[in-house]
Amino acid sequence: MPAGDLFTASIKEIAAGGGGAASAGGMTVFIDMTAPGDLVKARITREHGRWAKAELVEILEPSPLRIAPACPLYGICGGCSLQHLAYEAQLEAKTAILKNAFARIGGVEAPEPDIIPSPPWEYRNRMQFHCAPRFHREAPGLVSVGLKARKSAAVIPVSDCPVADRGIRGALKNGTIRPPPEKDRFTVYSRGGLFLCEGENNRGKTTLRGRGLILDAEVFFQGNAFMLEKLIGDLIQRAAPRNLPAADVYCGVGTFALFLKDLFPRIDLVEENKTALALARENVKGEGIEYFAMKDEDWAGRKKAAGGTNPVYGFIVADPPRQGLSPGIRRWLVEKGPPLFAYVSCDPASMARDGGELISAYDLEKLSFYDFYPQTAHIESLGIFRRKPRFSPRH
């Protein structure tokens, strides 16, 4: 089907990225803003051989899963992609995407994922904004901040956002968020009485599960504190064996290590971002703590070269960026990894790829989906990999 062709089809499921998947002309076609069960008319925009992208022209018969979006800018702003789906349907769709990724990309039969839902609105503590035109037809009045438009580089001014934390919503409505003059894009963080804005007041302390954590608006931090506390609690329960050292790889500001350090005789923190690691040094203090300012593969290479002088780890948690684990650390984990490895992922595709390699030495014991970002297609998950007895490493 060439670009420009019109067709009619039923939407079968939500695919990775948030678009609905349909069959037309012998290929799979992905159509944004559709719901499973919709009968739609659509137009092909790009053809890629066995699959194509299309734009929605008309909903001929709406799905029972479809609801009215809560935000008047939905479909214009690019921040959300699933507001037209009932929340339970969002959870079901994203869980299926996670499980299917393991089968399709990793060749792994994953256990049925546990589902940990979030409050669907006013959950987002950390947001990135852009400088925006001061007047816009979608947001009349004086507006100085905005979000990127859907499928374009334009900035849509926003004076409210229903997924944002109440502190951010209030600041948007009152016009009190001031973009730093030297930056087009900047970050704000709001939780309880804390409000950080990059370029104005960067640093502050929040509390997670009763422990203080220093943050910097310029340094990445998870954007849903409610879900982060849930994830931390599950990691605390799963972390074992506790008579051996542990490691927190891609440790960021030390969030996981802050709660794991007292469970193990030693913990190593690995992070290539030196600004984040400096915060981790402030957040995670005590005996038996070592910091490594380096890439994961360099750390793994150093461990491999050191051979028998390495500590024998009992537990490692890794929270890599979207591209997943580096090849070097994947190989090291297969050869020398701990009895238990906890993989925190923000991308099912890279996690499934990595899991497909780890499965030679590990069993995927548990898989959990944490809905950190309702109304969007983003999927955060936790995989617990237990080492197969016959693959116990010789250190």
Question: Could you report the per-residue pLDDT of 196-205, keeping only the tens digit for each?
Answer: 999 889 999 9
Q: Are residues 147 and 239 in the same domain?
A: no
Q: Are residues 114 and 163 in the same domain?
A: no
In angstroms, the CA 324 to CA 8 distance is: 38
- pLDDT of 249 > 60? The answer is yes
pLDDT at res. 242: 93
Closest listed residue to residue 255, CA positions, set 301, 208, 309, 313: 208
Domain membership flag for residue 259:
yes
Report residue 391 as tokens. Answer: 């693959």
Domain-ending residue, one of 196, 216, 236: 216
CATH number of the CATH domain containing 12: 2.40.50.140
- pLDDT of 72 > 90? The answer is yes
pLDDT at res. 244: 94
Beta bridge partners of 43: 6, 55
- pLDDT of 137 > 50? The answer is no
In three-state secondary structure terms, 125 is coil
pLDDT at res. 192: 93
Domain membership flag for residue 79:
no
In angstroms, the CA 386 to CA 342 distance is: 9
Beta bridge partners of 385: 341, 364
- pLDDT of 360 > 60? The answer is yes
pLDDT at res. 304: 79
pLDDT (tens digit, 9 = 90+) per residue, 175-230?
Answer: 899 888 778 899 999 999 999 999 889 999 999 999 999 999 999 999 999 999 99
pLDDT at res. 183: 81
pLDDT at res. 395: 45
Mean pLDDT confidence for 133-139: 51
Q: Are residues 269 and 335 in the same domain?
A: yes
Structural domain containing residue 206: 126-216
pLDDT at res. 184: 86
Question: Domain total for the chain?
Answer: 3
- Burial label, 322 (beta-carbon count in 10 A; 0-12, 13-18, 19+): exposed
- Note whether 38 and 62 are within 8 A (CB): yes
Q: Are residues 115 and 233 in the same domain?
A: yes
- Note whether 128 and 185 are within 8 A (CB): yes
Q: Are residues 210 and 337 in the same domain?
A: no
Pairing of strands 267-270, 289-292: parallel
- pLDDT of 120 > 90? The answer is yes
Closest listed residue to residue 176, CA positions, set 203, 149, 145: 145
Q: What is the pTM assigned to this prediction? A: 0.93
